[in-house]
Structure 1
């Protein structure tokens, strides 16, 4: 009888493992299919409504681009210069130097001939003390704020206070926007007055060729870690988040690039400074506020507007980044646990947050335990089950490869992004190999991040930047 009970237990474990991998990969595949349908719909819409037509009228909204910078001396000039070339009739740039110990501020002062100035602003959100505000006599749309260090969220709050525009755009200092990105993304704020936030695609700039601070050729990175991230970004940003938007269930607007209604952000109190996941936390809080108060709103993700960002190229920086992201996810879900399975918050509370809890937050632990069980089953004849082993590899490895490959091919067919067919072949190859080792390592980083969160770790983690190649 005990032997029968043990077999029943092992059989239940195996069924759970197979059901888990089947469910998560099927959801990702559904998101890819939903994204493809949505992208086609968007293309048809954009062929009817041209962004330039809207901005020839008085319908456009003013926007402040907030650039929090901490130790960004290598990239800051390239980033700001590219922002100055954006095609949009009414925008300003606010760079917030968050107490950088390197020469980020001095490079800005020297390059743009900045001078100290006095600007009155209403401090509607708390933040660390501002030391000095600089302006450029030659570039009136550029403001540089030097403040005490308080972290990225604190720097963004300072920028929100100083901004007086309708919208704010948060962008990382190691990122470059395509010149027409504001026209495309702000179109949704013009057409749909209830839009409170919108994000666009973030792609990997490593390997691309730049000239005069513009991307001239798009290529895959040469670095192994950056190549793996290129596949990740295609799957997660372009088809993962576009898919969530298709189902009106977007929970993340990337901290690297997002646009928000300034008044909506002020209503919910700005960015929280006691979390390392300020981007997802703000989106969840916007959902919570509007659903709880029964206010009409939408949070969008559009497939065309593109932000190019530098990704980590060394093991330690990438590990630290993913550890931080997972701690941010855990913190955000815990802060808003009251929304879980709560019908007040509709599909966000009943489906999206439970999915992120089970498959995104706890999923890495399930992944690792599943592979441990597989190793034990392979090494012990009593547990060896050929059907389970074959199904496990089919659902966890091969199914994942297929989803990644579909995402890569669909991206290239839809947008024809890369400058050579060789790059597409490389991405296709890496969409297979990322399932053989990298995802397992990634699950370990995330699991470590969850345990670090439970231990109260708040550090950002060191990131090594190499700067943009010219």
Structure 2
């Protein structure tokens, strides 16, 4: 028995070594690709000045779709921010998804809303729509409010909003998100200048925890005070700059954040819209849209903007963080399972041959391999003579590589976009990156493994309370779980 275990450990060491070398090599290629993509974006930004777009009558119209469930404490201030976005032609659609608080009442009273006769064509089936509201105040003539029966998910509410929209492009965001006033201008640019048909765009998200916010607008960007938001700040900088920009340049993006995603409405409808049974509706939608375009043999592009255009609140406690990441893990494995026929399928081009396998090998499998590695080390300590040199050198090599990637990400972010107020904040972020493998990464891995376990056993996790700035959203049922 010991001999078999020794043989297995030996083969596992070789496998892990090859796997990690492949991971490091691939991530290095992503780093180079990301740099080239950011450089191209910077040049494109100056070729198409914002002022020219704001004065143009030829820009495409955009519908901003915002699902709202029990957002009474923030809906008035935040909605005013959405209505003040800088763009020549847009509408704002708030979908009141059966709120049980005073969300709808506050909307009616503060924006002078009245029920209107509205031609509603249900291109994507949702829970019933009760009414549409428009403002009698010309100041709010861009606003449309959709009141519907609760559908149990952000996806259902978003679909109702898109059904009600009038423009060919829509932006889906969240009521607690705070957007820069030129967000629409930045995100729509690829739709206007790309030779290929752009079906979606996204941009960097940042963390609003501890930011100074007044009437739905960020007056001062502040560095998070608590540990978990700081770790997530680090993670966001690295993933948005080095991950998604690289995938964007290769036209292989499989994920546009649900907090800030702009879409071609026609392709969205053809793909069937958001799936309301998904645990990760943003990831699943992009995968399905790409699959549709490959099936149609039509050239397309999905682009990412390296600027931070949206601020959102993130979990600041261990329980809430694990809740969120467990759900992301279930969304990952659910999407992989549903679209498994794309895996290494040349019919789906770079999506099937590169992007989808990457998510299988380097996103889904890594937490499992880490757990297996820990168990082998424990058993080796008990029954075998552990190869300490191999373990130490492997860990050190991976740590130094990702430390360098993280450091480069922080420096690029600071030199180009200048999101931090002082050198002290940058040094704190670098310090967090050094302790990330010891504290944050194991918790994140545990959360993903928990999500896998819940998915395979069909066990419904117990949810805590999702506390946001100034208000509380209960997370204790399937109905509200999907708004995390």
**Does TM, normalized by the shorter one, top 0.5?**
yes
Distance change (3 Å), C-alpha of 1:17 and 1:74: farther
For 2:124, the equivalent position in structure 1 comes to 125
Aligned partner of residue 362 in structure 1, secondary structure = helix
Q: Which moved more, 1:169-178 or 1:190-199?
A: 190-199
Greater mean deviation of Cα atoms: 422-431 or 457-466:
457-466
> What is the alpha-carbon root mean square deviation over aligned residues?
2.1
- Higher alpha-carbon deviation: 450-459 or 142-151: 450-459
Contact map agreement 2:2 2:383 (CA 8 A) in 1: no
2:294 equivalent to 1:291? yes
Distance 1:43 1:84 in 2: 28
Q: 2: CA distance between counterparts of 1:111 and 1:71? A: 16
Quickly say closer, same or farther: Cα 1:25–1:309, change in 2 above 3 A.
Answer: farther
Cα shift at 1:282: 0.8
**Could you tell me how far apart the structure 2 residues matched to 1:196 and 1:324 are?**
26
Of 266, 271, 278 in structure 2, the residue corresponding to residue 268 of structure 1 is 271
Aligned with 2:258: secondary structure? coil
Partner residue of 1:168? 170
Q: Which has the higher contact order (CA 8 A, sep 6+)?
A: 1
How far, CA to CA, are the matches of 2:18 and 2:146 in structure 1? 52
Change (3 A) 1:3 1:123: closer
Structure 1 equivalent of residue 320 of structure 2: 317
Aligned equivalent of 1:36 = 35
Q: In 2 relative to 1, CA 460–199 (structure 1 residues): closer, same or farther, beyond 3 Å?
A: farther
Return closer, same or farther for 1:462/1:23 CA change in 2, 3 Å cut-off. Answer: farther
Do the aligned partners of 1:320 and 1:463 also contact (CA within 8 Å) in 2?
no
Q: Give 3-state SS (helix, strand or coil) of 2:233's partner.
A: helix
Whether the aligned pair in 2 keeps the contact of 1:401 and 1:435 (CA below 8 Å) is no
- Calculate the TM-score normalised by the size of structure 2: 0.91
Gaps of 5+ in 1: none
Deviation digits for residues 234-254 of structure 1, max 9, x if unmatched?
111232111111222100000
For the 8 Å contact 2:6–2:384, the answer to whether it is kept is no
The equivalent of 1:188 in structure 2 is 190
Instruction: Please report how far the alpha carbon of residue 55 of structure 1 lies from its aligned counterpart in structure 2 after TM superposition.
Output: 4.1
Aligned mates of 2:461, 2:155 — CA distance in 1? 14
Tell me what 1:337 maps to.
340
- Summarize the Cα distance change of 1:234–1:329 in structure 2 as closer, same or farther, 3 Å threshold: same
Q: Which shifted more, 432-441 or 282-291?
A: 432-441
Task: Tell me the equivalent position of 1:86.
Answer: 85
Change (3 A) 1:287 1:21: same
Aligned pairs for 1:134-283 (under 5 A) are 134-138=133-137, 139-150=140-151, 151-192=153-194, 194-283=197-286
8 Å Cα contact 1:219-1:420 kept in structure 2: no
Whole-angstrom distance in 2 between the partners of 1:463 and 1:361: 27
- TM-score of the pair, normalised by structure 1: 0.94
Structure 1 contact 400–435 (Cα < 8 Å) conserved: no
Q: Deviations over 1:23-73 (max 9, x none)?
A: 334433432332122111211121222233234333311011110112223
- C-alpha displacement at 1:401, in angstroms? 2.7
Question: Which has the larger displacement, 207-216 or 316-325?
Answer: 207-216
Please state how far the C-alpha of 1:455 moved relative to its aligned partner. Answer: 2.5
Which residue of the partner structure matches residue 95 of structure 1? 94
Quickly say closer, same or farther: Cα 1:4–1:328, change in 2 above 3 A. closer
Residue 20 in structure 1 maps to residue 23 in structure 2? no
Please state how far the C-alpha of 1:266 moved relative to its aligned partner. Answer: 0.9
Indicate the residue corresponding to 2:109 in structure 1. 110
Is the contact made by 2:9 and 2:376 (CA closer than 8 Å) also made in structure 1?
A: no
Which residue of the partner structure matches residue 411 of structure 1? 413
- Partner SS, residue 183 of structure 1: helix
Given that residues 235 and 407 in structure 1 are in contact (C-alpha distance below 8 angstroms), is that contact kept between their aligned partners in structure 2? yes
**Which deviates more, 340-349 or 101-110?**
101-110
Q: How big is the shift at 1:80?
A: 1.1
In structure 2, the CA distance between the partners of 1:281 and 1:125, relative to structure 1 (3 Å rule), is same
